[in-house]
Amino acid sequence: MEALSVKGLVKKFRKGLRGGVVYALRGIDLEVEPGEIYGVLGPNGSGKSTLVRIIATLLLPDAGEVRVFGHDVVQEAKAVRELVHRVSTEAAFFKKLSPLENLLYGARLYGIPGRVAARRAREILSQLGFPRDRIGRPMEQLSRGQQQKVAIARAFLHPPRLLLLDEPTTGLDPRSKREVQDLILEIRSRGTTVFLTTHDMDEADRLCDRLAILDEGRIVAEGTPRELKASVSRDGEGATMEDVFLAVTGKEWEGDEGI
């Protein structure tokens, strides 16, 4: 059984009361195997976040089917929510509480004993290079990058079967990015399947077993990083993921805001 199966997925939005229809996803098909890190690479506006929200049961598709370990995300949404965690750049917190208090609250929802949760929370924050002197400060006093690390730590407190990471390293400095990436590799080694969206080509190359390139709501290429680079270079040597993107889309790499 696939960890994630997406077939013919379509999602559209209407711009205003009299606006036209904008397609965020146009017939997406993909399969993710258990224990795999599967990446979706694309610029802002390509449909990556919409895809993650549908998998996480936060949006309803207009057509197609999505299954998480055999469970339909529309018909069996409750079962799906028990199997997934989602980390995004818009994570919600209790802003007046500290990182540790937020993590302990989240742990309580999963029935993790307080002492175990506190120890694990401190371990994960340490792995992420989180400053010790800020663990007890209110979240509203932390930088965006520090808040993102807390969001990542919250998902790792109780590793899910499928971890959805929607551009998890956006806003982080290079060292912090590497710390997060190392933690992603560690959680995969423990059996968690990871579905990662990113617009960081180096990150996709380093982390992903397989990846898809998404452009204007369509998958325009899919394969291992080496296979994709080999498609634009005889042996894959010397080619970059940016070369692949240019070859399959005909566009320069951009970062425009969008869906």
| Res. 79 pLDDT band, cuts 50 70 90 | very high
The DSSP symbol for 133 reads: G
Q: Helix 174-189 to helix 144-157 angle, to the nearest 10 degrees?
A: 10
Which of 31, 29, 25, 22 lies closest to 3, judged by CA? 31
The DSSP symbol for 152 reads: H
Sorted by sequence, the CB contacts under 8 Å of residue 27 that are 6+ apart come out as 8, 9, 10, 64, 218
The DSSP symbol for 116 reads: H
| Res. 234 pLDDT band, cuts 50 70 90 | low
φ/ψ (deg, to 5) at 10: -130, 135
**The whole model's pTM is what?**
0.88
Residue 256 has pLDDT above 90, yes or no: no
What mean pLDDT comes out for the span 28-49? 93
In three state form, how does the secondary structure of 203-256 look? HHHHHCCEEEEEECCEEEEEECHHHHHHCCCCCCCCCCHHHHHHHHHCCCCCCC
How far the first Cα of the chain sits from its last, in Å, is 30
149-172 pLDDT tens trace? 898 888 888 888 999 999 988 878
Which pLDDT does position 138 carry in this prediction? 94
Domain boundaries, the chain: 1-7+28-59+66-83+162-170+193-259
Average pLDDT, the chain: 89
In whole angstroms, what is the distance from residue 87 CA to residue 191 CA?
Answer: 18
Residue 202 has, within 13 A of its CA and on its CB side, a CA count of 6
Which pLDDT does position 258 carry in this prediction? 41
Residue 177 has pLDDT above 50, yes or no: yes
Which pLDDT does position 114 carry in this prediction? 84
Position of tokens 């089917």? Answer: 65
CATH architecture of 1-7+28-59+66-83+162-170+193-259: 3-Layer(aba) Sandwich (3.40)
Which pLDDT does position 257 carry in this prediction? 42
Percentage of the chain beyond pLDDT 70 is 94
| Res. 254 pLDDT band, cuts 50 70 90 | low
Residue 65 has pLDDT above 90, yes or no: yes
Contact 5, 67 (CB under 8 A): yes
103-139 pLDDT tens trace? 998 888 778 888 899 999 999 999 888 888 899 999 9
What mean pLDDT comes out for the span 58-64? 96
What mean pLDDT comes out for the span 22-37? 96
Residue 81 has, within 13 A of its CA and on its CB side, a CA count of 10
Which pLDDT does position 51 carry in this prediction? 97
Q: In what order do the strands lie in the sheet with 71-72?
A: 21-32, 4-14, 63-68, 71-72
Which pLDDT does position 232 carry in this prediction? 85
Which pLDDT does position 253 carry in this prediction? 65
In three state form, how does the secondary structure of 12-38 look? EEECCCCCCEEEEEEEEEEEECCCCEE
In whole angstroms, what is the distance from residue 207 CA to residue 180 CA?
Answer: 11
